[in-house]
Chains A and B, each alone.
Chain A
Amino acid sequence: MSCKRAQRELLEQFALGEELGSRSGPHLAHLVSCAECRREVGIDRELVENLRRALRERVEGSAPSQASWELVRRRTIDRPARPWTTRVVQWGGMVSAAAAAGTMMFAVVTAPESRFAGTQSPFIASAARRAVPPVDEAGGLSGADSSVYIATQTEPPLPGWPVRPQFSKSAPSRDSDPPITGHMR
């Protein structure tokens, strides 16, 4: 029998309380002849005894206080049951809050100037298109309400409000500087 096997199985016997029974003969024979295994098994047995002592020391002399039951009782039996109306109100409040949050999210995502516009679902994209009327070829606005739209666009910003920078994706005019190319070479 190898030392490894003997130590493993004897550890199970001493540490895990498993009886080897009739199989213990070869183990004992090995222990008689092997001083190293005797030492190892002795260490394991000592360790288990010390472990039991250490665990007992943790809890010795301690008991739950007499007040424990009173405190548990107050939190369970003596606690009045909540009427169903309270629960309905509580759940109703949570549902309302969730609905409000959802509505706000929807409003932000579908706003005409949102960066999400045009990149989301077709419904959101079409909503964004409706909010900003298309510009016709002549530079004016199409539709009957163009005057109204121009009026709102030309209004100066309110005092104290930041002016949003206007970005344009149109091609650069001929008067502007040509793009710098090849400067990395």
Chain B
Amino acid sequence: MQVSTEQPDGLVARMRSGDIDAFEEFFITYQRPVYTTALAITRDPFLAEEILQDCFVKAYRARHRLRTDRSPLPWLHRVATNLCYSRIARRRVMIEPITTLISNLVADLASRPDQVVESREIIEVLQRAIDALPPKQQTAVILYYLHGYSLAEAAEIAGCNVGTMKSRVHYALKALRSRLPEEQRAPAGARVSI
């Protein structure tokens, strides 16, 4: 169970030996996925940028402990998600009312069945519902549906087994579905083509 992304050209080994260019290459190679994860969790570009920097500072300090035989990306993702949730926890007071917002929005949409077919509104509800997911389920959804990792790869990044990851994705979907108002759960013409 290993993330298939290979480490380019002994990058970590060169970083360890004090090659400054290697660290820059390391940053350029991995900044995008780390930033994407941070941004998907926080939805704040400035905070995501801070987390990106903190993550690579940690990587630099821990370069002697990084493994040279495999990609450092799972480790970077894990550090980034931990940083995200520790920052979000500090902003808990600001985050919590979102749950209330979701309930209000869902209730509002449910009361106007003729207008809820708008795809835009469904996406907005989903965005808030993703924010309201527990951190582990949120990470699972982001790794699996945004980054396109397999269940095994996502499980490795999250530090759990495949079954646990599968169940996290499953429960996340159930939670997201329950957030959608009844009318939006059944889009017009939703039929399985067989």
Chain B residue contacts of A72, Cβ below 8 A: 27, 53, 56-57, 60
Stretch at the interface among B4-12, B100-108, B170-178: B170-178
For B150, the closest partner residue in chain A by CB is A17
| CB–CB A16/B170 < 8 A | yes
Q: Is the interface of A mostly helix, strand, loop or mixed?
A: helix
For A52, the closest partner residue in chain B by CB is B145
A66–B20 alpha-carbon span in the complex (Å): 18
Q: Is B89 an interface residue (CB 8 A)?
A: no
Chain B count of residues within 8 A CB distance of the other chain: 46
Q: Is A75 an interface residue (CB 8 A)?
A: yes
Residue of A16, A56, A57 touching B169 (CB-CB under 8 A): A16
Given contacts A43-B177, A68-B31, contact A76 B57 (CB under 8 A): yes
Q: Is A26 an interface residue (CB 8 A)?
A: no
| CB–CB A46/B39 < 8 A | no
Given contacts A55-B141, A59-B39, A76-B60, contact A39 B190 (CB under 8 A): yes
Tell me the B20-75 residues at the A interface (CB within 8 Å): 20, 23-24, 27-28, 31-32, 35-36, 39-40, 43, 45, 48-49, 52-53, 56-57, 60-61
- Extra contacts, 17 of them, besides A43-B190, A57-B127, A69-B27 (Cβ < 8 A), are A11-B170, A15-B169, A32-B194, A39-B190, A48-B173, A51-B130, A51-B173, A51-B176, A54-B126, A54-B130, A55-B40, A57-B123, A63-B35, A64-B35, A68-B49, A68-B52, A76-B56
Tell me the A9-64 residues at the B interface (CB within 8 Å): 11-12, 15-16, 28, 31-32, 38-39, 41-48, 50-59, 62-64
